[in-house]
Structure 1
Amino acid sequence: MSESSSVPTEREQLLNRLATLAYRRGDFTLASGRKSEHYVNCKPVSLSGSGLALISRAMLTHVEADARAVAGLTLGADPLVSGVAMAAADQSRELDALIVRKEAKGHGTGAWLEGPLPAPGTLITVLEDVVTTGGSSLKAVRQLRDAGYKVTRVVTIVDREEGGDAAMAADNLELISLYKLSEIAAFVPA
């Protein structure tokens, strides 16, 4: 709880939801192929209306002021980019959402990117639900850069603290996380 009140802050509310709905302890194989005793699946939070609202407002505060779009690799980032774009609109800020496909569309235009495409050279912030090694985020960044966009920042809900920050730094990217895995694992809901 915040020091000045018994009402939890939005950050505390989101931490509670992540700890109770998204975090599990056990024996898991991650998307990176690594084994872990910690598993984080943010979708039960990001796919609930009130959870997405908390995430979106928090992520929006870390989107560069001159960014004109947010983007992320499908599927984990789909609700995030839409939610952050909507939160921006609520603040009268122009910010579009883009979805980066895992592979080019197999029909029609063969597009990698979905959404209102900004002009080449536009700054885009990449959003991610969970970063482990950074592979998914870097795939999205590469697709965006290959399309002519500028990407300098990745904002994630959870940094698993397993090298993603170093991978981002090696690609001249700043990684900002709303929470570290250690913070979620240590949280005991009230």
Structure 2
Amino acid sequence: MANNINVTEILKEVGALLEGHFLLSSGRHSDKYCQCAKLLQYPEKAEKVLSVVAEKVKNLDVDIVLGPAMGGVIVAYELGRQLNKPAIFTERVDGKMALRRGFEIKPGQKVLITEDVVTTGKSSLETAEVIKELGGEVIGVCCITDRRNGADFEYPIYSAVELEVKSYNVEECPLCKQGLEYVKPGSRKIK
């Protein structure tokens, strides 16, 4: 299914690519935002987009697909479905990622982390720590949108699309300097 799928066009079609002034989950600011929830509300479109990622990872030795809540939960479910692997999720407990609800990772199991968007990879790295503490092995990180702009990352990233989007430290943000108010569309609480 992954052949000839224009992920950017699908994201535009569902209204997921936004412009303005945004506070990202990483704490950085940006003039663009990819609201993947707008894509994930359409299962058939999400299936198409995530088939691009599934094609990239189909030959990896994976036991479990795991998505950090909120953004990675539906992505984990759909990739798990396409790869025929169990799909579970971590969630924050007192501000720290944890595995709950009876989910398990056994020592030696190979885990693929899933996200909607990767900018700094903070949620993925927190989730990787949970996996390693339980004796699992992180194989890589899958996402719909990779917006790291080429920044190094500890694990291989498998994305449906790479978007070149500038992000700024608060102190350097030109949108703040213009006095534009920001919107915080993500789910993570930022101090």
Comparing both chains, which one has the higher relative contact order based on Cα–Cα distances under 8 Å and sequence gaps of 6 or more?
2
Deviations 1:98-152 (A, max 9, x none): 10112279xxxxx624465343111011111111111111111111111111003
Alignment match, 1:82: 77
Q: How far apart, in 1, do the equivalents of 2:113 and 2:132 lie?
A: 11
Unaligned runs of 5+ in 1: 1-7, 90-94, 106-110, 184-190
Alignment match, 1:175: 157
Structure with the bigger percentage of helix: 1
Structure 2 residue identity aligned to 1:32: S
Structure 2 residue 7 is matched with structure 1 residue 17: no
Structure 2 residue 86 is matched with structure 1 residue 96: yes
Asked whether the 8 Å contact 2:63–2:109 carries over to 1, the reply is yes
Structure with the bigger percentage of strand: 2
**Paired residue secondary structure (2:137):** coil
Normalising by structure 1, what TM-score? Answer: 0.74
**Paired residue secondary structure (1:141):** helix
- CA distance change for structure 1 residues 69 and 115 in 2, over 3 Å: closer, same or farther? farther
Which shifted more, 19-28 or 33-42? 19-28
Displacement after TM superposition at 1:76 (Å): 0.6
Asked whether the 8 Å contact 2:118–2:143 carries over to 1, the reply is yes
Asked whether the 8 Å contact 1:46–1:55 carries over to 2, the reply is no
Displacement after TM superposition at 1:53 (Å): 1.1
Alignment match, 1:73: 68
- CA distance change for structure 1 residues 54 and 115 in 2, over 3 Å: closer, same or farther? farther
Structure 2 residue identity aligned to 1:34: R
Unaligned runs of 5+ in 2: 166-191
Asked whether the 8 Å contact 1:10–1:54 carries over to 2, the reply is no
Normalising by structure 2, what TM-score? Answer: 0.74
Tell me the number of residue pairs that the alignment of Structure 1 and Structure 2 aligns.
Answer: 160
